[in-house]
Amino acid sequence: MARIEIAGLTKAYGGRGTARAVDGIDLAIADGEVMALVGPSGCGKTTTLQLLAGFLKPDAGTITVGERVVSSAQHVVPPERRRMSLIFQSYAVWPHKTVFENVAYGLRVMKLSRSDIEDRVRDVLRSVRMSDLAQRYPSELSGGQQQRIALARAVVVEPETLLLDEPLSNLDANLREEMRFEIRRVHDTTGITMVYVTHDQTEAMVAADRIALMRDGKIAQVGTARDIYESPASAFVAKFVGGTNTLPATLVDPHTVECCGARLRVRDDFDAAARGPVILCVRPHELIIAPESGDDGTGYRENGRNRIAGVVVRQTYLGDARDYLIDVGGAQVRVSTPPSEDRGIGSTVHLDVAVEACRIVPGD
Amino acid sequence: MTTATAQRRIERAGSFDPGPIFFIGAIVVLLILVVVPLGWLLWISVQRPEIGGVTLANYAEAFTKSIYLRPIFNSLILATSVATLAALIGTPLAWLIARTDLPGRKGLRALITAAFVTPSFIGAEAWILLAAPNSGWINRAIASFTHADHGPLNIFSLGGAIFVMALYNVPYTFTFVAGGLELLPVELEDASSTLGASAWRTMRSITLPLVTPAIIAGFIMSFLEALAEFGTPAFLMIPARTQVVTTQLYLFFQFPVRTELAAAYAMPLLAVTLLLLLLQRRILGRRKFTMVGGKGGRRRLIGLGAWRWPLLAIALVVPLCSVVLPYLALLATSLSRIWSQGPVPGNITFHWYHWALFENAPTRLAVFHSLSYGAAAATVATILAFLIAYTANRRLFPGAQALGIVCMAPFVVPGIVLAIGIYAAYSHPPLVLYGTATILIIAFTTRFLPIAYSNLNTMVGTINADLENAARTLGATRIRALRTITAPLLRRGLLASWLLVFIPAIRELSSAIFLFTPRTATMTTQIFDFTDAGNYEAVATLAIIILAITLVIVSVAYRFLGRDFMEKTST
């Protein structure tokens, strides 16, 4: 099995130095780990995967698998010698071969004996519950079945690493759930190292041990789903994972900010030597609309909560929740409330939020 | 991981990847086929053994002497007349078949396709049988009817050549215009009718202007064909001692051979072809723009009413002259012991087929040569076009797309000009190929490489690279992925490309005539020689064999590859 170490990896398109798709990333993936590369489109995650698979040659930096340097600006071990299987967004199941032939392909390349090939193909098809369809052609299969074939074809050769490029994005919601489970099960039974590219943060959270969040060819943050959700390193991370309101604020002391005309207490895990402009992140469901009580005081209150005042700009009934857009003095915040919380447009409301839910990230 | 698997994987990791050799090999072949001959053509055009150094003496001689200027003038008359006639006939024919309720439209279309796949030099041979001044059957029929000494027709003339070549160029304009009319959104015409225009006015002010680019494109295509055609002028105009550029080029190769002068003399042909093809591309490009938004759904056919049958009779004249009469004449001749006696009892025999295919070694060999050279050219062209199309599409290295342009370059080179370049390049050391089968295979491959390339280039582009990449992550080298994944996925395209090269290669005359020797004669060069000798029974027999092979292949390909298969030859 394989530990993968990426160091200073850089790839530019359209000539050296222009438009860096991957811009000097460092990432270590432990043996047997599932690492998700997540980010908006154009962040460089697919390019990183193509570099890992050996389809692209880096302009700088190295990729090391175990003890072996497989990619550098000088030399790239070609894809067929990297012991990495790749699952494609487009499935890439060969339409001119039967299910059996698709899965057997890699074993034939290895020159295994006919009986070995038959045994292994039969086993892997059983494990993805496709035994009955071995003699079918891909055009006779559904998208989910094709993706299972792609998975079987990739794992039957027992690769050291499994790379997955948006494997679920072409499936409908039900199948996505099923395939997510399937992929995780493959990992649990084989202990294979996986690198999983997706733009969907939920998918990453479910599938991966750790998440590397990418933006503009760089890694914005690496950590477990919980690390990233609870302690985002930047407003971008907070927005991308889970979604958040961002409010411009001024740091007064390590646990106090000036924001929306009020003085609020915040989590003090933000390591800021300097005072000055920062960004306050509050997730929509952590804000609650306070009951009307005649008490108009804002700022940090004795009950351990912050309160700010605002005016309802818009609200939408969503069945299981109500989505509010509230103007809090220049900035607008989204608030997700229970559906019963019905306030008219233009009405003044007070928003309460726990100190624990108020995170500070550096200003951009 | 099982140990056996691991072991094998490790063994493979050290193995040598032969992939680059294939691609470098393809590039070398491309150099031999295209770049070297065209380079030599340019180079020798500024050479003169007795002067030495770089000189323009060949150009000066070629374009000042009146005996060399006259053929250029004749070529222009020939090409202009052929293209004009073909457009004047092809356009209304296309309208009748695409837009009206003319009876028998399907049959007419099939006949026009048959004309399309008939080489015009075979048509010329047939028309010699029909309209030679004394012996031609039509002339004899008219003469016996009018009791004159001889009939009024003389196919051995500039007019005769124009007539025959126009017949076989009608399909170009026809195909372009019919295609245009079928894409034309019917709403455009409806809009005119709702504004009160008559059907005639709608056609004149809406339909005709919209298909004008297609008519011009057909005109250019016919013009270029006529300019580059060798066989028909050779058969019909050399007896009349009237030369055109291509026949003059042929005369430069009679003793004493003047290759350098020929190279210089061929340059205008190359330049005009290049310019007109660029012009045609612009016109067709614009046409596409004007068609955007057309639904092209089911359309109403224009009712011809009482005119249906008279118009059908007129429309039938063209296929009658280009297919029915010539095929009958050739067939009758090939089945006659002595053609001038006509297919009457006692004169009918299979003798000439038996003679051509079994008794007579030269013709028997020629049939074999045509088929084997054609098959070799088709195979080389298809493999080469596939490898280059792949290289260019997947951008295997920077500038790989330039290889595609090299593949397409022979498209602007008339066959006869290409033959001169190949002769110049390979008739002296280091590579002496003159007199070998290889030089003919090179000529056929190069000449029809653009057809294979343009066909495969489009098709490789439709194959998602993921399909190959998947094979590579499973341990296959690039070549193995190409062989086991890409090529099988493209099998129909590869077969189509092979046939699209094979069909024109077995009936190629203009480049073969410069490069063959008696040991490498093909069916077409045999036809040329038998025409010289006046043995028209042998000519007709070989012509029928070529036509039969072509028609069988085309109809089989239609069945397996679809109706749009042949249309690729016209682009």
List pLDDT tens digits, range A147-163: 899 999 999 999 999 99
Beta bridge partners of A215: A218
User: What's residue A271's pLDDT?
Assistant: 66
Nearest residue on chain B to A77, alpha-carbon basis: B13
Q: Distance (Å, rounded) from C-alpha B301 to C-alpha B98?
A: 8
User: What's residue A14's pLDDT?
Assistant: 65
- DSSP, collapsed to helix, strand or coil, labels residue A245 as strand
Partner residue opposite A110 with nearest CB, options B473, B475, B478: B475
A88 vs B contacts (CB less than 8 Å): 466, 469-470
Which has the closest alpha carbon to B216: B205, B224, B227? Answer: B224
Query: Is B489 in Cβ contact with A153 (below 8 Å)?
Result: no
Q: Which pair of structure tokens corresponds to residue A357?
A: 């839910």
User: What's residue B291's pLDDT?
Assistant: 41
CB A281 within 8 A of CB A237: no
Query: Is B470 in Cβ contact with A94 (below 8 Å)?
Result: yes
User: What's residue A360's pLDDT?
Assistant: 86
Q: Is B195 on the interface with A (CB under 8 A)?
A: no
Partner residue opposite A81 with nearest CB, options B12, B484, B489: B12
User: What's residue B246's pLDDT?
Assistant: 93
Which has the closest alpha carbon to B491: A96, A140, A137? Answer: A96
CB A3 within 8 A of CB A29: yes
Query: Is A90 in Cβ contact with B466 (below 8 Å)?
Result: yes
Residue to test with chain A: of B463, B464, B473, most A Cβ within 10 A: B473
**CA of A96 to nearest chain B CA: how many angstroms apart?**
6
Partner residue opposite B469 with nearest CB, options A55, A81, A112: A55
Query: Is A94 in Cβ contact with B485 (below 8 Å)?
Result: yes
Exposure on the CB side of residue B361, measured as CA atoms within 13 A: 3
Helix crossing, B401-408 with B437-461: angle to 10°? Answer: 130
Q: Is A84 on the interface with B (CB under 8 A)?
A: yes
Which has the closest alpha carbon to B298: B416, B216, B185? Answer: B185
Largest CA distance in chain A: 83
B470 vs A contacts (CB less than 8 Å): 86, 88, 92, 94, 150, 153
Mean local confidence (pLDDT), A8-25:
80
User: What's residue B293's pLDDT?
Assistant: 41
Beta strands A299-300 and A305-317: pairing type? antiparallel
Residues 6+ apart with CB under 8 A from B524: B121, B231, B370, B507, B508, B509, B512, B513, B546
Residues 6+ apart with CB under 8 A from A278: A249, A250, A251, A257, A270, A272, A360, A361, A362, A363
Query: Is A153 in Cβ contact with B470 (below 8 Å)?
Result: yes
How far is residue B564 from each of residues A152, B144, B461, B553, measured CA to CA in Å? Answer: 39, 46, 18, 15
Which has the closest alpha carbon to B526: B323, B302, B330, B362? Answer: B362
User: Which residue would you say has higher pLDDT here, A322 or B134?
Assistant: A322
Q: Is A106 on the interface with B (CB under 8 A)?
A: yes
CB B473 within 8 A of CB B481: no
- DSSP, collapsed to helix, strand or coil, labels residue B396 as coil
User: Which residue would you say has higher pLDDT here, B165 or A278?
Assistant: B165
Partner residue opposite A79 with nearest CB, options B472, B484, B489: B472
Mean local confidence (pLDDT), A278-283:
89
User: What's residue A336's pLDDT?
Assistant: 92
The size of chain B, in residues, is: 571
Provide the chain B residues 460-489 that lie in CB contact (below 8 A) with chain A: 464, 466-467, 469-478, 480, 484-485, 488-489
How far is residue B256 from each of residues B244, B262, B557, measured CA to CA in Å? Answer: 19, 12, 45
Q: Which pair of structure tokens corresponds to residue B276?
A: 């007109």
**CA of A200 to nearest chain B CA: how many angstroms apart?**
22
Partner residue opposite A92 with nearest CB, options B13, B467, B488: B467
Beta strands A332-337 and A322-327: pairing type? antiparallel
Could you give the angle at the alpha carbon of B521 between the alpha carbons of B518 and B527, nearest 5°?
110
A82 vs B contacts (CB less than 8 Å): 473
Partner residue opposite A157 with nearest CB, options B475, B480, B485: B475
How do residues A225-234 score in pLDDT, each as one tens digit? 999 988 888 8
Name residue, tokens 């009934």.
Answer: A317
Provide the chain A residues 138-157 that lie in CB contact (below 8 A) with chain B: 150, 153-154, 157
Query: Is A153 in Cβ contact with B484 (below 8 Å)?
Result: no
Partner residue opposite A80 with nearest CB, options B5, B476, B485: B476
Helix residue spans in chain A (DSSP H):
45-53, 99-109, 114-127, 143-155, 173-190, 201-207, 225-230, 235-240
User: What's residue B47's pLDDT?
Assistant: 87
How far is residue A63 from each of residues A57, A160, B240, measured CA to CA in Å? Answer: 11, 15, 77
Partner residue opposite B9 with nearest CB, options A86, A110, A153: A110
Which has the closest alpha carbon to B386: B461, B288, B320, B310? Answer: B461
CB A178 within 8 A of CB A142: no
How do residues A50-82 score in pLDDT, each as one tens digit? 999 999 999 999 999 988 999 999 999 999 999
B68: Cα separation from own chain's centroid:
27
- The amino acid occupying position A284 is P
Query: Is A96 in Cβ contact with B473 (below 8 Å)?
Result: no
- The amino acid occupying position B325 is L
Q: Which pair of structure tokens corresponds to residue B61?
A: 């001689």
- Burial (0-12, 13-18, 19+ Cβ within 10 Å), A303: exposed
For residues B126-140, one letter each, b for 16 or more C-beta atoms within 10 angstroms of the residue's C-beta and e for the rest, the string is bbbbbbbbebbbbbb
User: What's residue B467's pLDDT?
Assistant: 93
Enumerate residue ranges in chain B where pLDDT < 70. 1-18, 285-300, 562-571
pTM: 0.82
Q: Which pair of structure tokens corresponds to residue B344?
A: 């009457």
Partner residue opposite A84 with nearest CB, options B473, B476, B484: B473
Q: Is A105 on the interface with B (CB under 8 A)?
A: yes
CB B205 within 8 A of CB B126: no
The size of chain A, in residues, is: 364
Listed ranges A6-15, A16-25, B117-126; the one with the highest mean pLDDT: B117-126
CB A25 within 8 A of CB A219: yes
Nearest residue on chain B to A151, alpha-carbon basis: B470
Q: Which helix (H) or strand (E) holds B189?
A: helix B186-194
Q: Is A53 on the interface with B (CB under 8 A)?
A: yes
CB B482 within 8 A of CB B469: no
How far is residue B569 from each of residues B147, B164, B420, B462, measured CA to CA in Å? Answer: 47, 21, 24, 20
Cβ count within 10 A of residue B429 = 6
A170 vs B contacts (CB less than 8 Å): none
Query: Is B474 in Cβ contact with A85 (below 8 Å)?
Result: yes
B469 vs A contacts (CB less than 8 Å): 53, 55, 79, 86, 88, 92
Largest CA distance in chain B: 98
Q: Which helix (H) or strand (E) holds A23?
A: strand A20-29
Residue to test with chain B: of A31, A52, A67, A81, most B Cβ within 10 A: A81
- The amino acid occupying position A137 is Y
- The amino acid occupying position A107 is L
Which has the closest alpha carbon to B135: B329, B387, B358, B384? Answer: B329
- Model confidence band, residue A272 (pLDDT cutoffs 50, 70, 90): low
Nearest residue on chain B to A110, alpha-carbon basis: B8
How many CB contacts within 8 angstroms connect chain A with chain B? 81
**CA of B377 to nearest chain A CA: how many angstroms apart?**
28
